[in-house]
Amino acid sequence: MPASYVSYGRTNQKRRTRAAIKAAAADLIQRGKTPTMADIAEAALVSKSTAYRYFPSLEALIAEIMLDQTVALDLERVYEAAEIPGTAEERLEAVVREDHALVHQHERAFRTAIGVMLTAQQDETTRLPRRPGNRLRYLSQALAPLADQLEAEHFERLMMALALCVGIESMVVMKDICGLTPSEAEAVKLWAARALVRAALNESKNEPR
């Protein structure tokens, strides 16, 4: 497993490309145009095939732009929670709470966006591109105090496991499958996050160096 999330492939370059495509699309839309994917690719200085590698359809691209605009301010609160003074457990709890509030407040927008992203037509050789890794970044920030207590591989695995406790997917599981209320869902996600941190720390203590 890679040493850190940012070490995956050309992650930073891919983020810049994705951001450029979204910025180009947003600019065209704000200017009153109804752009095609070819128009957006040209404005972003990438090929149309590259644009389609990041966004399987024009609808998926527009859905993500609209979602970004809807949640931008509340997403900043999640990042702020990840850097509050305190232990990793306290920072993580703050992140789970803020993320839960964000998703609960904008649940309809999240569900609409993810529905469009996941129902785009794909042939058998095309993988759905990875969505933005906001949760991995703010979870990594929250867990920073544990960086010197866990091996890099264990830190990475903990962060990925905690990704199951946040985001719209966690809300779908808690509400649609488990039948919980939003407050009950938040309590379960907090419990799961704490349990995962304790498990990772105990495993680290018991492993021979």
> Could you give the angle at which helices 88-105 and 58-81 cross, rounded to 10 degrees?
140
Please state the pTM of the whole predicted model: 0.74
Average confidence (pLDDT) over 119-125: 50
Q: Which of 7-11, 55-59, 113-117 has the lowest mean pLDDT?
A: 7-11
In this structure, of 34-48, 83-97, 105-119, the range with the lowest mean pLDDT score is: 105-119
- Average pLDDT over the chain reads 85
Residue 178 pLDDT greater than 90, yes or no? yes
- Among candidates 156, 153, 113, which has minimal Cα distance to 136? 156
Between 28-32, 36-40, 71-75, 80-84, the lowest mean confidence (pLDDT) is in 28-32
Residue 124 has pLDDT above 80, yes or no: no
User: Of the given ranges (20-29, 111-120, 173-182), which has the lowest mean pLDDT?
Assistant: 111-120
Are the CB atoms for 48 and 38 separated by under 8 Å? Answer: yes
Q: What is the mean pLDDT of residues 190-205?
A: 94
Q: Are 47 and 41 in contact (CB under 8 A)?
A: yes
8: left (phi over 0), alpha (psi -120 to 50) or beta: beta
pLDDT higher than threshold 60 for residue 2: no
- pLDDT value of residue 133: 72
- Token pair 């379960």 is found at 188
> What is the sign of the dihedral through the CA atoms of 94, 96, 143 and 129?
negative
What whole-number percentage of the chain has pLDDT above 90? 56
**pLDDT tier for residue 11 given thresholds of 50, 70 and 90:** low
pLDDT per position as a tens digit, 34-79: 889 999 999 999 999 999 988 888 888 888 888 888 888 889 999 9
pLDDT at 125 over 50: no
Q: What is the mean pLDDT of residues 151-165?
A: 94
